[in-house]
Structures are given as structure tokens and as C-alpha cells.
């Protein structure tokens, strides 16, 4: 375990197919190159994650979607304009050539444009999407500090970018968006009423299966 003080070290580690620790605006995460087989294998092993679950991808900006998703619908574009950068993750129809571990074989890929300074600085150097998943072990609470991440993964080869997450920070809100309709998959930092108020004047709505 190494505490990483420079973003250039983090980029070099990503290029080698290593997993890194990264503070975001919501949770301390593990990040990796989505197209590096070694990185995917290591991350799935560390998180004990079923291949069918898929991953969230952090992107430098909406222009990165062309290598991940089909052309976004009008509702997706509106949500991006209003809430990105921010703690809103959108599950959008994926390009058919994406690696299956990224989509969980669902046909959708989850993407977010994070406002966290460390994330934006890293992606400005990396210039490509990054996998992001919470830095806790399966079933354990998420860590809030660099030291906690170091303690959890002390036996792994893992560079960690310094940072602290606010205690009790909420995860990003997760919406699946297709054909100008949104479905709430996970409540989070952006409240559902605010999302509804934003899109309703444009004739869109969001369904919440949790209330059915």
C-alpha cells in the first residue's frame, strides 16, 4: 500500500493496469482502466463482485460518452446539462462493443461526470473514462479517509490519492434513462423531487419502482 501524492504517479499506475484509491464527491472509490484486462480482473477480485453487476464509469466530460454509449436521448441530455458535474449517475444504452464487465450484460453502462477536484484533475491527465466503485470490502461500510482505505487494502498493490470524504455523504443518485424515460435505480445525493421539478416542464417524468 502506497499513499499517492502526485496525479502523475496515479496515471502511471493506471497505465500499468493497477487499481488506485480515489476520493470522489460522494464516496472514497477504487478506480481502474476499463479497457485493461488486468485492472478488471484485479478489481473484480478485490470487490468480490459478480460479473453481472457492472461498474460506474467516471468521465472527463459528456464528450467521452461517444466511446461508451449510444447517442443520448433528449432527457439524458437535459439531465447532463442541469446536474453535471455532480452526484448524478446515468445508466444509458451502451455501445455493443463495450466489455461485458462494464455493463453487467444489461445493455446499459452507468456514467458520471464528477465535480470532485481530485477526480477532475486526474481525468484531465488521463483523458479517458475510469471505472469507479466504492473502496470498501463487500458488505462493509465505505471508508472516509485515505488512512482507512490504506488499512482496508494494506495487502494489495494500491496507490491512494490523498483526500477525505464528508461523514455520512450520500452516494450518487442513479437513474436509468432510455427513450426519454427515466427510472430511479438508487436514491442518493440529488433528491427525486428536485429531479422531477427540473424535467417536468419539458414533458418528462421519472418512475420510482421502490414505491410500487
- In this structure, what C-alpha cell is assigned to residue 173? 443518485
* pLDDT at 4 > cutoff 50: no
Give the C-alpha distances (Å, rounded to integers) separating 144 from 27, 37, 137, 159: 7, 28, 13, 16
User: Which DSSP string do the residues of 56-96 spell out, in sequence order?
Assistant: EEE-SSGGGGGGTBSPP-HHHHHHHHHH-SSSEEEEEEBPT
- Domains by residue range for the chain, with CATH: 2-211 (3.90.870.10)
Q: Which residue has the cell 421539478?
A: 197
> pLDDT tens, 139-192?
888 888 899 999 999 989 899 998 878 777 888 999 999 999 999 999 999 999
Residue 1 three-state SS: coil
pLDDT tens for 60-112 read: 999 999 999 999 999 999 999 999 999 999 999 999 999 888 999 899 999 99
Contact 37, 152 (CB under 8 A): no
**pLDDT category of residue 211 using cuts at 50, 70 and 90:** low
The grid coordinates listed for 73 are 436521448
Quick: pLDDT tens for 120-145: 999 999 999 999 999 999 888 888 88
**DSSP helix/strand/coil, 35:** coil
Q: What integer pLDDT is reported at residue 169 of this predicted model?
A: 80
Cell output for 114 = 464528477
Nearby residues of 79 by Cβ (< 8 Å), 6 or more positions away: 88, 90, 175, 177, 182, 195, 198, 199
Amino acid at each position: 500500500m502506497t499513499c499517492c501524492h502526485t496525479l502523475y504517479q496515479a496515471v502511471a499506475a493506471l497505465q500499468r493496469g493497477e487499481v488506485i484509491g480515489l476520493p470522489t464527491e460522494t464516496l472514497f472509490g477504487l478506480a481502474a482502466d476499463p479497457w485493461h484486462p488486468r485492472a478488471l480482473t484485479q478489481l473484480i477480485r478485490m470487490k468480490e463482485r459478480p460479473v453481472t453487476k457492472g461498474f460506474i464509469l467516471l468521465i472527463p466530460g459528456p464528450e467521452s460518452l461517444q466511446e461508451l454509449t449510444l447517442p443520448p436521448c433528449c432527457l439524458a441530455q437535459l439531465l447532463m446539462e442541469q446536474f453535471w458535474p455532480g452526484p448524478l449517475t446515468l445508466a444509458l444504452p451502451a455501445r455493443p462493443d463495450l466489455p461485458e464487465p462494464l455493463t453487467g450484460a444489461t445493455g446499459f453502462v452507468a456514467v458520471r461526470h464528477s465535480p470532485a477536484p481530485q477526480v477532475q484533475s486526474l481525468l484531465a491527465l488521463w483523458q479517458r473514462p475510469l471505472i469507479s466503485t466504492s473502496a470498501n470490502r463487500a458488505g462493509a461500510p465505505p471508508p472516509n479517509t485515505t488512512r482507512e482505505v490504506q488499512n482496508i487494502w494494506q495487502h494489495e498493490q494500491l496507490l491512494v490519492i490523498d483526500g477525505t470524504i464528508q461523514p455520512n455523504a450520500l452516494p450518487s443518485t442513479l437513474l436509468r434513462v432510455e427513450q426519454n424515460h427515466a427510472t430511479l435505480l438508487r436514491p442518493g445525493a440529488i433528491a427525486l423531487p428536485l429531479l422531477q421539478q427540473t424535467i417536468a416542464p419539458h414533458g418528462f417524468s421519472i418512475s420510482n419502482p421502490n414505491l410500487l
